[in-house]
């Protein structure tokens, strides 16, 4: 038994039927030419034979001192045919039917009496492709490490037929800290750095470098939500965004955020719901080193970014976004990893008010939306000889934050996954159309 780090425990304490706290991914694969009609069935059978399960994938909450959120215990036996399932899209097997199936899977809670993960192999698409929908609890793994974990199951060799499964991969290069020692050490370090964090926060506030909590306007996204989810996914050629980046002298992430800002502006104008003040996005920053392959816990900081949604001109909006991100990063660049986590927690601490739904309507939102860009593979990747066509991240809407935009790179594409509360965000797929319109607008402005 090991104690749960406080930052991880928050995702268990905050979870409810209306607010599932798992991160997901929908991967789309093209089988090899000689695969045969039973390819997915054979892959599923091979997965079930991979019975060696890493300790992280045996963890579920233990009851300690009457609370089920304070410590982890590990299952002696993992029932793989529960955690690894085979499903099919109904006829005629369209892509929108696959996404609808994934939306339903993403809406349901993970069973806390079992290890907190599931994988669903999905076949039946009319074009012959198959998909893998996965979900893992955010208390167990953060979004960046989940994407890295899935990436480690892939290979750049199309001829490789070795089945690599997420629940049993070679141990990472960085030594795993077990028990309470690692989280305790992080907490002590963060506490010891409290004075420097407060100095950094004071300096940032004096220079007005940080976008602050409660500066966000109230929007139709910042309401209590229900448990049902709707997902929408689409891919864009990376080269299109790279051209805007080069022409504007900004970063790729600045272009992504501005593209998203333009889409949100159009979506809200369409519903006569655009506020006069600019929307504020929480942009997660991974604090994991590039060689950190471990899966334990959450290592994420946060920047609050002014999206400039009150600005009609796309280049002016891009300048505002770039400046806001630059100022936020300048503050964090002077801090250690633990100090960054501590300052991020200080910035996001008002979010705790969202744990009391009745208070959501009484305060301005801490921020309006989460927009997360997770780096992915830069070359074509394969799994069991099948080519990875797309990998759509599906993240977490929560009370007061009814929609989430997460994307990842995959070879020459950027794969967007938009997830929203089914009740609060009508016609969610329209955001995909607006993302395309927003990118085209930036391309015209920088041509």
- CATH number of domain containing 112: 3.30.559.10
- Among the three residues 153, 169, 194, which one is the final residue of a domain in this structure? 153
Residue 28 lies in a domain: yes
Residues 348 and 424 in one domain: yes
- Among the three residues 153, 177, 197, which one is the final residue of a domain in this structure? 153
CB 22 within 8 A of CB 133: no
Residues 122 and 235 in one domain: no
Residues 113 and 216 in one domain: no
CA 236-234-133 angle, 5° bins: 125
Residue 171 lies in a domain: no
Residues 96 and 235 in one domain: no
- Among the three residues 133, 153, 173, which one is the final residue of a domain in this structure? 153
Residues 136 and 230 in one domain: no
How far apart (Å, rounded) are the C-alpha atoms in residues 112 and 12?
10
Residues 347 and 260 in one domain: yes
pLDDT for residue 248: 97
Domain enclosing residue 86, as ranges = 2-153
Residue 184 lies in a domain: no
Residues 250 and 124 in one domain: no
Residues 12 and 106 in one domain: yes
Residues 124 and 47 in one domain: yes
Residue 301 lies in a domain: yes
Residues with pLDDT less than 50, the chain: 173-193, 204-209, 288-289, 292, 295, 297-298, 350, 359
CA 280 from chain centre, in angstroms, equals: 17
Rg (CA), the chain: 21
Residue 180 lies in a domain: no
- Tell me the residue ranges of DSSP E strands in 327-432: 369-374, 382-383, 386-394, 403-410, 413-421
CA dihedral of 277, 372, 18, 119, whole degrees rounded to 10: 160
Residues 122 and 28 in one domain: yes
Residue 63 lies in a domain: yes
Residue 182 lies in a domain: no
Residue 54 lies in a domain: yes
Give tens-digit pLDDT for 192-241. Answer: 445 555 555 555 444 444 555 557 899 999 999 999 999 999 999 999 99
Residue (of 216, 344, 197) closest to 276 by Cα position: 216
How far apart (Å, rounded) are the C-alpha atoms in residues 48 and 93?
25
pLDDT for residue 324: 92
Q: What is the CATH number of the domain that holds 346?
A: 3.30.559.30
**Structural domains in the chain (count):** 2
- Give the burial string for 357-369 (b: 16+ CB within 10 Å, else e): beebeeebbbbbb
Q: What's the pTM?
A: 0.86
Residues 231 and 119 in one domain: no
Which are the catalytic amino acids?
Answer: 138
Residues 144 and 230 in one domain: no
């Amino acid at each position: 038994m090991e104690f749960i780090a406080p930052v991880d425990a928050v995702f268990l304490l905050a979870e409810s039927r209306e607010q599932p706290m798992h991160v997901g991914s929908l991967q789309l694969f093209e089988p090899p030419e000689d695969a045969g009609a039973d390819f997915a069935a054979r892959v599923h059978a091979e997965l079930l034979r991979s019975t060696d399960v890493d300790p992280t994938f045996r963890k579920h909450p233990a009851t300690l001192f009457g609370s089920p959120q304070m410590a982890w215990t590990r299952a002696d036996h993992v029932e793989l045919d529960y955690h690894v399932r085979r499903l099919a899209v109904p006829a005629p097997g369209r892509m929108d039917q696959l996404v609808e199936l994934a939306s339903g899977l993403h809406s349901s809670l993970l069973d806390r009496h079992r290890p907190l993960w599931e994988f669903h192999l999905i076949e039946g698409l009319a074009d012959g492709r198959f998909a893998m929908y996965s979900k893992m609890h955010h208390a167990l793994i953060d979004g960046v490490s989940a994407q890295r974990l899935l990436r480690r199951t892939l290979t750049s060799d199309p001829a490789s037929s070795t089945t690599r499964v997420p629940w049993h991969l070679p141990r990472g290069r960085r030594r795993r800290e077990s028990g309470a020692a690692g989280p305790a050490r992080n907490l002590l370090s963060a506490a010891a750095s409290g004075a420097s964090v407060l100095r950094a926060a004071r300096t940032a506030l004096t220079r007005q470098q940080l976008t602050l909590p409660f500066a966000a306007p109230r929007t139709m996204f910042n309401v209590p939500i229900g448990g049902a989810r709707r997902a929408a996914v689409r891919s864009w050629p990376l080269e299109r965004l790279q051209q805007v980046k080069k022409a504007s002298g900004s970063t790729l992430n600045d272009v992504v955020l501005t593209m998203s800002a333009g889409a949100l502006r159009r979506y809200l104008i369409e519903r006569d719901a655009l506020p006069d003040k600019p929307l504020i996005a929480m942009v997660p920053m991974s604090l994991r080193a590039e060689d950190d392959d471990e899966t334990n816990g959450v290592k994420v900081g946060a920047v609050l970014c002014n999206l400039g949604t009150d600005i009609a001109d796309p280049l002016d909006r891009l300048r505002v976004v770039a400046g806001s991100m630059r100022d936020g990063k300048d503050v964090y660049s002077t801090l250690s990893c633990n100090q960054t986590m501590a300052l991020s927690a200080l910035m996001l601490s008002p979010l705790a008010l969202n744990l009391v739904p009745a208070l959501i309507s009484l305060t301005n939102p801490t921020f309006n939306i989460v927009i997360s860009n997770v780096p992915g593979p830069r070359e074509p990747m394969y799994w069991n000889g099948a080519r990875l066509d797309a990998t759509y991240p599906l993240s977490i809407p929560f009370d007061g934050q009814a929609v989430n935009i997460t994307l990842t790179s995959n070879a020459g594409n950027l794969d967007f996954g938009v997830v929203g509360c089914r009740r609060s965000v009508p016609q969610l797929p329209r955001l995909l159309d607006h993302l395309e319109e927003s990118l085209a607008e930036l391309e015209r402005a920088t041509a």
